[in-house]
């Protein structure tokens, strides 16, 4: 039987590419060369393909989707986020879209916890001091941060990642609050307190951790007005999507002292970073590391392939269909 053709827009983990090459006529990307930012190039390379395995940040917008050849049946993204794909355009063309939920919850929650610790304990700033050879030795008042024990952690978006973070943060003695579209059942809340309104929620966030998707509906959700609702000295962490933060407002609040610190893993317009962050010592900046563990990236790739296999090899619904 002829294998269906699969276009891969990036270099994926070796075992993932090996499975793709075993089961498909796989067009592997040679290196992350950047052509996935080019609609015409994606469409050109997709000629003859039945499926596309893409990744967060790829240009799968309306222009690309309109240009895709007839034969493309499914776009399987190697991500849980789908803000890089114009879902409406895909639906109009009858192209299925799938993602990779669940498998990255622990890895992403670990990065959120890491950023909370980095921000609270000034880890980025002080590591830079040590590396610069500028540390003059221990003193009783040097580099003091804040302890997490007894502090209130507000989780915006209590999905799988948010709930995993809650479990981790309980181990640090934090009190958990959350804001979500709807209240969770008791067995998922595990004592966390639900807030139905932004103001009441933000007012109790000694630490705010953001886990909401990108897109129009959440654009610059954390704006100056909402930042003002946070307690004096609060910490903000974002491992969801950078577009959900008003960068100017966050930089202003970190500069005037209303906020103590921030930790960011995601940025609007990645890989560009809003320049104001680079000048601040009280911001920990990571390069979109959320899911970047060997185990998780393999699992994401296998999940993306499971979706492709369902549609292209077995004629079934993809298990993780977005729409």
Strand order in the sheet with 207-210: 193-195, 175-179, 152-156, 207-210, 234-238, 259-264, 283-285
Torsion angle, alpha carbons of 92, 77, 27, 51, to 10? -30
**Which CB atom, from 13 or from 145, has the smaller least distance to ligand DGY?**
13
Asked whether the bond before 309 is cis by omega within 30 degrees of 0, the reply is no
The alpha carbon of 72 is separated from its chain's Cα centroid by a whole number of angstroms, namely: 27
User: Which residues in 86-105 contact ligand DGY (CB under 6 A)?
Assistant: 104
One residue of 74, 80, 106, 114 binding ligand DGY per CB under 6 A = 80
Residue nearest to ligand DGY (CB): 81
288 is catalytic: yes
Task: Give least dist CB 135 to ligand DGY, A.
Answer: 34
Is 79 a binding residue for ligand DGY by CB under 6 A? The answer is: yes
**Which CB atom, from 80 or from 236, has the smaller least distance to ligand DGY?**
80
Is 242 a binding residue for ligand DGY by CB under 6 A? The answer is: no
Task: Give least dist CB 108 to ligand DGY, A.
Answer: 7
User: Which residues in 33-62 contact ligand DGY (CB under 6 A)?
Assistant: 56
241 is catalytic: yes
Annotated catalytic residue within 19, 241, 260, 303: 241
Query: What is the pattern of x (binds ligand DGY, CB under 6 A) and - over residues 172-211?
Result: ----------------------------------------
Asked whether the beta carbons of 60 and 75 are under 8 A apart, the reply is: yes
From 37-45, 75-83, 161-169, 225-233, span contacting ligand DGY (CB under 6 A):
75-83
**Which CB atom, from 158 or from 174, has the smaller least distance to ligand DGY?**
158
Asked whether the beta carbons of 261 and 289 are under 8 A apart, the reply is: no
Number of residues interacting with ligand DGY: please give it, by CB under 6 A.
7
84 is catalytic: no
User: Which residues in 276-295 contact ligand DGY (CB under 6 A)?
Assistant: 290-291
Residue/partner pairs of 159-162 with CB below 8 Å, 24 or more apart: 159/211, 160/101, 160/102, 160/105, 161/104, 161/105, 161/108, 161/109, 161/112, 161/211, 161/239, 162/109, 162/209, 162/211
Task: Give least dist CB 283 to ligand DGY, A.
Answer: 19
String of DSSP letters for 112-129? HHHHHHHHHHTHHHHHHH
Asked whether the beta carbons of 306 and 312 are under 8 A apart, the reply is: no
From 44-52, 79-87, 194-202, 272-280, span contacting ligand DGY (CB under 6 A):
79-87
- How many angstroms separate the CA atoms of 166 and 153, rounded? 8
Is 218 a binding residue for ligand DGY by CB under 6 A? The answer is: no
The alpha carbon of 301 is separated from its chain's Cα centroid by a whole number of angstroms, namely: 16
Using CB under 6 A as the criterion, which residues of the chain lie in contact with ligand DGY when the complex forms?
Answer: 56, 79-81, 104, 290-291
Name the residues annotated as catalytic: 241, 270, 288
């Amino acid at each position: 039987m002829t294998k269906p053709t699969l276009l891969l827009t990036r270099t994926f983990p070796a075992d993932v590419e090996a499975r793709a090459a075993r089961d498909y006529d796989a067009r592997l990307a040679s290196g992350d060369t950047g052509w996935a930012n080019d609609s015409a190039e994606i469409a050109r390379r997709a000629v003859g393909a039945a499926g596309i395995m893409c990744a967060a940040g790829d240009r799968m917008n309306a222009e690309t989707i309109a240009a895709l050849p007839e034969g493309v049946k499914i776009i399987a993204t190697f991500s849980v986020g789908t803000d890089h794909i114009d879902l409406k355009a895909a639906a109009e063309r009858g192209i299925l879209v799938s993602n990779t939920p669940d498998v990255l919850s622990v890895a992403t929650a670990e990065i959120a916890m890491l950023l909370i610790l980095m921000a609270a304990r000034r880890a980025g700033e002080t590591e830079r001091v040590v590396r610069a050879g500028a540390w003059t030795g221990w003193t009783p008042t040097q580099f003091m941060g804040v302890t997490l024990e007894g502090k209130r952690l507000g989780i915006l978006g209590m999905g799988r990642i948010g709930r995993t973070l809650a479990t981790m943060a309980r181990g640090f003695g934090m009190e958990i609050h959350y804001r979500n579209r709807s209240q969770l059942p008791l067995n998922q809340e595990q004592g966390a307190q639900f807030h139905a309104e932004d103001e009441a929620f933000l007012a109790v966030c000694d630490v705010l951790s953001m886990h909401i998707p990108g897109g129009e509906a959440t654009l610059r959700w954390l704006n100056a007005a909402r930042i003002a609702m946070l307690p004096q000295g609060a910490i903000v962490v974002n491992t969801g999507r950078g577009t959900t933060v008003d960068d100017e407002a966050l930089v202003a609040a970190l500069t005037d002292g209303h906020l103590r610190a921030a930790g960011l893993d995601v940025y609007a317009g990645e890989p560009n970073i809003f320049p104001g962050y680079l000048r601040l010592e009280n911001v920990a900046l990571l390069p979109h590391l959320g899911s970047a563990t060997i185990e998780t990236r393999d699992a994401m790739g296998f999940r993306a392939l499971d979706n492709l296999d369902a549609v292209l090899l077995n004629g079934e619904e993809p298990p993780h269909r977005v729409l």
